[in-house]
Structure 1
Amino acid sequence: MDDNLDFTTGDAGASSTFPMQCSALRKNGYVVLRGRPCRIVEMSTSKTGKHGHAKVHMVGLDIFTSRKYEDICPSTHNVDVPTVKRNDYQLIGITDGYLSLMTDNGEVREDLKVAEGDLGKEIQNRYEAGDDVMITVQHAMNLEAAVAVKLMAKQ
């Protein structure tokens, strides 16, 4: 037995991915393609050939970068599926390119960068206009990013 085991991560043991049979995947579901968490945008299954299994052809878009990935796997094989979580936070500030976000229980987190591209510009513009906005943060495979912005309902 190894005496140098490190148990200091504080992880509850939940994995960032879980296996699923390729034939059980569906369009708009999630899958890991080329090591990246992706949303499936196209799927097709070829018939069984003389050498074995039906093959599933998948096209997915990276959920953080929107980059396109493709893969083909036998329908009976297992593939990794990322555990994807989405949380909404209230935007309370932007400092040096980082978002200041408040959770439902009042805690503040300031470790998330402003999104790139149009989403980042929209967040910046709404903040500068004084709008009360919610930022949707997506988390998968130890990565997280702001993926949406919406106006908060007035009370």
Structure 2
Amino acid sequence: MADDFESGSSGASQTYPMQCSALRKNGFVMLKGRPCKIVEMTTSKTGKHGHAKVHLVGIDIFTSKKLEDICPSTHNMDVPNVSRKDYQMIDINDSYLTLLDDGGETREDLKLPEGELGQDIEKRHGNGDSFLVTVLNAIGEECVVGIKNLN
């Protein structure tokens, strides 16, 4: 009798544990289930038998929302695996970007970012400028976070 098991993704490869006291400012951490860049960290000493607590303030790397959490310094927190990649900007179709990577592969699955960054990309593209866009990838999400000039 053979059992048939379906494999499911645990999401474990998207984050890794790190002791709270080992986290550093400008590093990344998961706060309330979102990947954040740490902008502020304070450690408070507690009473006679308590643990030192770390107060973390982070900015969500995709939505720019401010998130906070408090964690005992000896506990582990999840740290997202964040990757950054530059793509050459080719075109904009229905508010989706057409991008070219180093290997000559194109992709058309990223939306034009909202706000100032999106307006800047549209303006530069309209002017016929050649430039790179920086894409951040973490926990299965991707978004354009910056622009670089091509020399």
> TM-score, length-normalised on structure 2?
0.94
* Change beyond 3 A, Cα 1:120–1:32: same
Identity among equivalent positions (%) equals 62
Report the counterpart of residue 35 of structure 1 in structure 2. Answer: 33
Report the counterpart of residue 152 of structure 1 in structure 2. Answer: 150
Give matches, 1:1-155, under 5 Å. Answer: 2-6=3-7, 15-153=13-151
Distance, in Å, in 1 between the alignment partners of 2:18 and 2:3 is 32
One-letter code aligned to 1:39: K
Distance, in Å, in 2 between the alignment partners of 1:87 and 1:132 is 17
Q: How big is the shift at 1:14?
A: 7.3
Distance, in Å, in 1 between the alignment partners of 2:97 and 2:143 is 11
Aligned structure 1 segments of 4 or more residues deviating by more than 6 angstroms: none
> TM-score, length-normalised on structure 1?
0.91
Describe the SS at the equivalent of 1:123: helix
Aligned length: 149
Deviates more, 1:40-49 or 1:69-78: 40-49
One-letter code aligned to 1:60: G
Describe the SS at the equivalent of 2:103: coil
Write the deviation string for residues 80-115 of structure 1: whole angstroms up to 9, x where unpaired: 000000000000100000000001111100000000
